[in-house]
A and B are shown apart, each in its own frame.
Chain A
């Protein structure tokens, strides 16, 4: 028998009243693979992410991490199992510094959150790790700046930094380059590329920009109206008629 995939969804479904936002999506994500999830606006990509990381409860279906059912676990428990999530709308701690933001992620990974009596400012081990992550996203000069005073692009980088600092097994990026200027994008894309190169990470990437998807993805999954409509090699999927019609047609009219 094959080893269990890093992440799997089985018949994952969520309904809001009569509207089915994600409809019976079954998909396996194996480690070492970067899967791009594409689809037009409102296709259910972010909702699918919310179901996987636990911000939303599924109406039906299951989420499995390395074969273990996590469908009934809270987001924090799923994070502990190795599901890491970066958010589409920047979602940080606005009045703590950039370094403190990253340190909270480092500390969660290090299980140090319940340490009552050590001084936060003297935990060198945690600080050094957080500094290393800030350097990776090239925010080391902004370490004492709170997110509320960072540029939009830097906020996005910090969002990615928190995800990296969690050292998850599954990295979930939700439009990491949204709203970024052209010269800010390479840093973030390189980071994602780095994560992929390091081997056993499972990466899920929701992205609109087709050139980004083409250059990074090993596999493309297409969602349309909450249903999985195509899944496969990037070249094959992009060429398929269903994608041309459902997604690329729309992108062309958008652009």
Chain B
């Protein structure tokens, strides 16, 4: 009890400064967590200079996109307590918005803008309709409705092949500034020649950082606290004068918009969009895993969850392949860690992490923080 009364004297509002303002006064609150986050962000920032080759840069870009996607999903799941399975639909809308616009209207920045704005508008309208129509019903029915809508969207995307390219998806050209052949500077920086690919990476990085900080602000705003209040006790929030349906719908729309931007970034990076890259249900499951591993209700969890998961997805197979060859000759073991079994081990990792850290990695680190 003494610990609690001590902390009662601690006034959170006295902490000030640009960094605190940028983080909306929601700091990591754990030294280890801060170091991990700084490490991840520094690696992502320096990725084009530190890692050579296109594979690591693609992994870094994918991490950025998924940080954004997972953070936007956490706004729904962790902060508002809404279980939606339609999140990949908004991710897909962003991807198709960019893909269709660039393929049809040509490889210009105007096309990017038109594609993104139309995708955002469509996502906002859809999220608002789904929210207003179905957030009144019980949580489980809402989840079922989102599942149905998401499946319908996936079927629609693969059937409307004249527009979406069907199962094959759409490949397109990027604006000149983002192509590998584009060289803005004559001389290399730190031994790396800056090209359009690296510019595209930094576009993704900067957009992710900015939107992540906006999401962090939103969850730490008066509005964000209302969302948490609704998650904790919807009945009481309504009795205090908060229109629960309106707040939930607003949260759905904000979350959908951020997911749409993530989808657009993914398409820009891949120069392709298809059902498998943005719309598939397995991505929805990945998002859920990343939120849970990182820690629900903590946006920082999105950074850690997405980084771990994407790294595992990209490198676990390689790592296992190495292990498997190293153990050749020993019975059974090489088979167990054969690269083909990587999903099994990812699953095992997931189960272990949920048991060991029920509040996710961020929840665990914050709980153990030094007094």
Chain A residues in the interface with B (C-beta under 8 A): 53, 55, 74-77, 79-80, 85, 87, 91-96, 100, 103-105, 107-109, 112-124, 126-127, 141-145, 149, 162, 166
Contact = CB atoms under 8 A, between A and B. Distances in A.
A74 B217 contact: no
Contacts of B369: none
Contacts of B357: none
29 contacts: A55-B239, A75-B238, A76-B239, A79-B239, A80-B241, A91-B239, A94-B233, A95-B232, A96-B229, A100-B225, A104-B237, A108-B242, A112-B222, A113-B223, A113-B242, A115-B222, A117-B218, A118-B222, A119-B220, A120-B25, A120-B225, A121-B24, A121-B220, A122-B13, A126-B222, A141-B5, A142-B8, A143-B8, A144-B8
Interface string B205-248: 00000000000011011111110110011011111111110010
A215 B236 CA distance: 30
A87 to B, nearest CB: 8
A50 B222 CA distance: 28
A204 to B, nearest CB: 15
B222 A107 contact: yes
A217 B310 CA distance: 66
Using C-beta atoms within 8 Å of the partner chain, give the interface range for chain B.
Answer: 35 or more
B240 A104 contact: yes
Contacts of B368: none
Nearest to B245: A74
Given A91-B235, A94-B233, A123 B222 contact: yes
B12 interface: yes
Given A116-B218, A141-B5, A79 B232 contact: no
A247 B10 CA distance: 50
Contacts of A77: 243
Given A74-B243, A120-B25, A121-B13, 19 more contacts: A55-B239, A76-B239, A96-B228, A96-B232, A104-B242, A107-B225, A108-B240, A108-B242, A113-B223, A113-B247, A117-B218, A120-B221, A121-B12, A122-B25, A123-B222, A141-B8, A144-B8, A144-B10, A166-B240
Interface in B176-196: none
Interface of B: 4-5, 7-8, 10, 12-13, 21, 24-25, 217-218, 220-226, 228-229, 232-233, 235-244, 247, 250
Contacts of A108: 240-242
Contacts of B221: 115-120
Contacts of A79: 239-241
A1 to B, nearest CB: 30
A130 to B, nearest CB: 12
Contacts of A115: 221-223
A42 B238 CA distance: 25
A154 to B, nearest CB: 13
Contacts of B244: 76
A104 B226 contact: yes
B209 to A, nearest CB: 17
Contact of A94 (B7, B8, B232, B242): B232
B222 A120 contact: yes
A76 B13 contact: no
B232 A124 contact: no
Contacts of A116: 217-218, 221, 223
A96 B232 CA distance: 8
A232 to B, nearest CB: 30
A114 B239 contact: no
